[in-house]
Chain A
Amino acid sequence: MSQDEILEGVTSTEYKYGFTTDFESDNLPPGLDEEVIRALSAKKNEPEWLTDWRLEAFRIWQSMEEPEWANVRYTKPDYQAISYYSAPVKKQVNSLDEVDPELLKTFEKLGISLDEQKRLSGVAMDVVVDSVSVATTFKATLAEKGIIFCSISDAVHEHPELVRKYLGSVVPRTDNFFAALNSAVFTDGSFCYIPKGVRCPMELSTYFRINQAGTGQFERTLLIADQGSYVSYLEGCTAPSRDENQLHAAVVELVAMDDAEIKYSTVQNWYPGDAQGKGGVFNFVTKRGICEKRAKISWTQVETGSAVTWKYPSCILKGDDSVGEFYSVAVTNHYQQADTGTKMIHLGKRTKSTIISKGICAGHSNGSYRGLVKMGPRAEGARNFSQCDSLLMGDGCGSHTFPYIEIQNKSAQVEHEATTSKIGEDQIFYCNQRGMDTEAAIALIVNGYCKDVLKQLPMEFAVEAQKLLAISLEGSVG
């Protein structure tokens, strides 16, 4: 990418993706009870087992308390004030010509015109706008390899055996408050299945976007990599600016069977609220993967958005010799709060995990790394390496690290390194003297600091992530 692009990004003052698109919606009235769930399930024409599954989740959710242990402060959402279903009215789409032109304009503003994407980048997109998939591309190419990539609603009808077997198998409905809520009311999301021994020929990409005022979004993603297969999955998010807080409680489940590899990358840029801390998205996400023998799951995330983030992409290293990785950059600015990290649960022998977490805090924000490394009793010879770095900008922000380590096997090795640093005046002056203005200097220094994480991202995504870092930190050093 050119540095000019960073500069251009840095000098734009408003949240870049703060626009909304008008198109007709088919909404359920606000509120949540069993009737609403039945209505939602009926609207989606779901089989009975799924309706029952949702209702059970709802009952579980009702018995749970919203968690308060995270290092974040916010006003709890009124769950009865949220509408749990909103879908763009035109939903039968066979080609781009049939897609709502307003929607296409939205994509253009985001710089992801589907046409362009189709022609140029070879990225298949399953686009979720307000809970229902409206366009899926490249299906045919993927189908040749036997790869299934579709909305989870379609998967419920077309591949019920897979959905029924794996839905909730990694993140059970009882897992936590937000996962239970999601299980009860999830409207759509992505489903992906890679058959045995197949290497997915392209990056699979989903663009999430929250669009309907007052609508929470509850995506559900289920990704299954069968034995010896490989897939790289990209998730990118932007949202229009809104004054009221928007709740987002997604669940992502990954299943990596023997010798399979899943690379899951996220660039998250939801509306963080304005400079005074007003508005912004609440992002309470449960992401977890399970690794069978010799399987590998790698989570990479660049988190720059949301007013409140609560997110711990995790790996259950069940199979012997399986590998889990977590690479994270979390930026908070203004009044943003993030409590994020990972859990590496080592169950199998010789399992390995790596955690690289880079926190950047500016303004009056608060960033926390919270991570669990657990070595189970059978985890003979398991190893973990964790590195948690924080970079502080200015003196109004806070950075915290909460590492939890549980070891039940004497042969396991756990290493934890942590640093906290500030961007030095000397570094900035050095860059200034070479002709860079201060914003560009910070962008360069921050990108260098995050390099170990950014290099894990696919090329196009890394470019976008670099821009986001620059935009997110604009004005953070006076």
Chain B
Amino acid sequence: MADGTSILKGINLEVKPGEVHAIMGPNGSGKSTLSSVVAGREEYEVTGGDVLLDGESLLDCSPEERAHKGIFLSFQYPVEIPGVSVSNFIKTALNSHRAARGEGPLEAALLLKKMREKLELLEMDKSFLSRSLNEGFSGGEKKRNEIFQMAMLEPRLAILDETDSGLDIDALRIVAQGVNALKSPKNAVVVITHYQRLLEYIVPDFVHVLLNGKIVKSGTKDLALELEERGYDWIKKENAGK
């Protein structure tokens, strides 16, 4: 990091198309840093290792190039952009992806149709489109808006950073439903979360525990349940000697 602190110290994670991975861990374990590094946030310096997509390194790519290659990050704290409507924002985003592929802007009618479909999937009213991006949104609306954007952009790898935080049970169900509907054998999802709760709805193929910047344990869905029951202390103890 810019201030010289080293946060991630040993991540070895392979995500294959069609898979859902969950990364769990206590506060400060490096979960959000991991997602920022993969997305290419400049304030983090990668001092070792690599981030590969389809065997190609992403480290020299700008955040927007990574986005064009199919990396999507659902932000834990989505930012507000006053005066920019949800529809204008997503149109700009989608068309910059298309431009990167050498395609022209999506025709207005098709764009509208696509937006309507995805809104329906997330049980969002179409009045949402004309609201200023994230301005005055409730926590649940912000997160749904993230998943809406994910649905529009159809990424190869979606990283959901604590998408469940701040959601009530209904919103959680809707968000999970959206994510599940978008799953395909071609794309993959990494869910970053504190709690097992979201994983009842988005069932992971693998669960990893992140502790002090390292993945210290990997397992299946059962590991998440065990964490829910026993907390993180036993893992901390297990690793204390290493």
Please measure, in the bound complex, the distance between the C-alpha atom of A447 and the C-alpha atom of B78, giving whole angstroms. 19
- A426 CB-CB contact with B under 8 Å: yes
- A119 CB-CB contact with B under 8 Å: no
Closest residue of chain B to A421, judged by CB?
B82
B48-56, B63-71, B195-203, B233-241: which one contacts chain A? B63-71
- Of A437, A444, A452, which contacts B64 at CB under 8 A? A437
Closest residue of chain A to B39, judged by CB?
A433
- Of B63, B72, B84, which contacts A448 at CB under 8 A? B84
Which among A4, A425, A434, A447 has the greatest number of chain B C-beta atoms within 10 A? A434
Please measure, in the bound complex, the distance between the C-alpha atom of A444 and the C-alpha atom of B132, giving whole angstroms. 12
- A450 CB-CB contact with B under 8 Å: yes
- Of A3, A450, A451, which contacts B91 at CB under 8 A? A3
Q: In the assembled complex, which residues on chain B have CB atoms less than 8 Å from the CB atom of A434?
A: 67, 89, 92-93, 96, 149, 153
Q: Which residues 71-119 in B have Cβ within 8 Å of A in the complex?
A: 72-73, 75, 78-79, 81-84, 88-89, 91-97, 99-100, 104-105
- A163 CB-CB contact with B under 8 Å: no
- B62 CB-CB contact with A under 8 Å: yes
Size class of the contact patch on chain B? 35 or more
- B41 CB-CB contact with A under 8 Å: yes
A3-B91, A4-B105, A435-B64 known; A444+B96 contact, CB < 8 A: no
How many Å from the CB of A148 to the closest CB on chain B?
39
Please measure, in the bound complex, the distance between the C-alpha atom of A431 and the C-alpha atom of B96, giving whole angstroms. 11
**CB distance B89 to A444 under 8 Å?**
yes
**CB distance B79 to A448 under 8 Å?**
no
**CB distance B105 to A436 under 8 Å?**
no
Closest residue of chain B to A450, judged by CB?
B83
**CB distance B99 to A432 under 8 Å?**
no
Closest residue of chain B to A454, judged by CB?
B83
**CB distance A435 to B105 under 8 Å?**
no
- A79 CB-CB contact with B under 8 Å: no
Closest residue of chain A to B74, judged by CB?
A433
A434-B153, A435-B100, A445-B84 known; A440+B62 contact, CB < 8 A: no
Closest residue of chain A to B134, judged by CB?
A430
Q: In the assembled complex, which residues on chain A have CB atoms less than 8 Å from the CB atom of B99?
A: 4, 7
**CB distance A429 to B41 under 8 Å?**
yes
User: How many contacts between A and B, using CB within 8 angstroms?
Assistant: 87
How many Å from the CB of B3 to the closest CB on chain A?
15
Binary per-residue interface labels of chain A (1-32) against chain B in the complex, 1 for a CB within 8 Å, 0 otherwise:
01110010000000000000000000000000
**CB distance A435 to B68 under 8 Å?**
yes
How many Å from the CB of A440 to the closest CB on chain B?
6
**CB distance B73 to A2 under 8 Å?**
no
- A449 CB-CB contact with B under 8 Å: yes
A3-B91, A7-B99 known; A449+B83 contact, CB < 8 A: yes
- A94 CB-CB contact with B under 8 Å: no
Q: In the assembled complex, which residues on chain B have CB atoms less than 8 Å from the CB atom of A450?
A: 83
Please measure, in the bound complex, the distance between the C-alpha atom of A429 and the C-alpha atom of B149, giving whole angstroms. 15
Q: Which residues 321-349 in A have Cβ within 8 Å of B in the complex?
A: none
Please measure, in the bound complex, the distance between the C-alpha atom of A72 and the C-alpha atom of B41, giving whole angstroms. 39
How many Å from the CB of A305 to the closest CB on chain B?
23
- A387 CB-CB contact with B under 8 Å: no
- A427 CB-CB contact with B under 8 Å: yes
Q: Which residues 434-473 in A have Cβ within 8 Å of B in the complex?
A: 434-437, 440, 444-445, 447-452
- A67 CB-CB contact with B under 8 Å: no
Which among A424, A437, A450 has the greatest number of chain B C-beta atoms within 10 A? A437
**CB distance A2 to B105 under 8 Å?**
yes
A434-B153, A435-B68 known; A440+B83 contact, CB < 8 A: no
How many Å from the CB of A428 to the closest CB on chain B?
9
Please measure, in the bound complex, the distance between the C-alpha atom of A115 and the C-alpha atom of B195, giving whole angstroms. 66
**CB distance B93 to A448 under 8 Å?**
no
**CB distance B96 to A437 under 8 Å?**
yes
Closest residue of chain A to B135, judged by CB?
A448
Please measure, in the bound complex, the distance between the C-alpha atom of A427 and the C-alpha atom of B82, giving whole angstroms. 10
Q: In the assembled complex, which residues on chain A have CB atoms less than 8 Å from the CB atom of B79?
A: 424, 426-427, 430
Please measure, in the bound complex, the distance between the C-alpha atom of A57 and the C-alpha atom of B63, giving whole angstroms. 60
**CB distance A445 to B93 under 8 Å?**
no
- Of A3, A430, A451, which contacts B105 at CB under 8 A? A3
How many Å from the CB of B240 to the closest CB on chain A?
36
**CB distance B73 to A435 under 8 Å?**
no
**CB distance B84 to A444 under 8 Å?**
yes
Please measure, in the bound complex, the distance between the C-alpha atom of A431 and the C-alpha atom of B66, giving whole angstroms. 12
Please measure, in the bound complex, the distance between the C-alpha atom of A430 and the C-alpha atom of B95, giving whole angstroms. 16
- Of A424, A433, A451, A452, which contacts B67 at CB under 8 A? A433
Q: In the assembled complex, which residues on chain B have CB atoms less than 8 Å from the CB atom of A2?
A: 95, 105
How many Å from the CB of B159 to the closest CB on chain A?
10
Please measure, in the bound complex, the distance between the C-alpha atom of A432 and the C-alpha atom of B62, giving whole angstroms. 8
**CB distance A433 to B63 under 8 Å?**
yes
Q: In the assembled complex, which residues on chain B have CB atoms less than 8 Å from the CB atom of A3?
A: 91-92, 95-96, 105
Please measure, in the bound complex, the distance between the C-alpha atom of A451 and the C-alpha atom of B66, giving whole angstroms. 30
Please measure, in the bound complex, the distance between the C-alpha atom of A334 and the C-alpha atom of B149, giving whole angstroms. 36
Q: In the assembled complex, which residues on chain A have CB atoms less than 8 Å from the CB atom of B39?
A: 433
Please measure, in the bound complex, the distance between the C-alpha atom of A450 and the C-alpha atom of B83, giving whole angstroms. 8
Closest residue of chain B to A429, judged by CB?
B41
Q: Which residues 51-99 in A have Cβ within 8 Å of B in the complex?
A: none
Please measure, in the bound complex, the distance between the C-alpha atom of A356 and the C-alpha atom of B88, giving whole angstroms. 23
A2-B95, A435-B93 known; A448+B64 contact, CB < 8 A: no
Please measure, in the bound complex, the distance between the C-alpha atom of A4 and the C-alpha atom of B95, giving whole angstroms. 8
Q: In the assembled complex, which residues on chain A have CB atoms less than 8 Å from the CB atom of B72?
A: 433
How many Å from the CB of A297 to the closest CB on chain B?
25
Closest residue of chain A to B152, judged by CB?
A434
Closest residue of chain B to A5, judged by CB?
B105
How many Å from the CB of B76 to the closest CB on chain A?
12
Which among B73, B83, B94 has the greatest number of chain A C-beta atoms within 10 A? B83
A-B contact pairs, 26 of them (CB 8 A): A4-B99, A4-B105, A427-B81, A430-B78, A430-B79, A431-B81, A432-B67, A433-B64, A433-B67, A433-B75, A434-B92, A434-B96, A435-B64, A435-B67, A435-B68, A435-B94, A435-B96, A435-B97, A435-B100, A436-B93, A437-B62, A440-B92, A447-B83, A449-B82, A450-B83, A452-B83
CB-based closest 3 A-B pairs: A448-B83, A448-B84, A451-B83
Can you add 5 more A-B contacts, CB < 8 Å, to A433-B64, A449-B83?
A: A2-B95, A4-B104, A432-B40, A432-B67, A448-B133
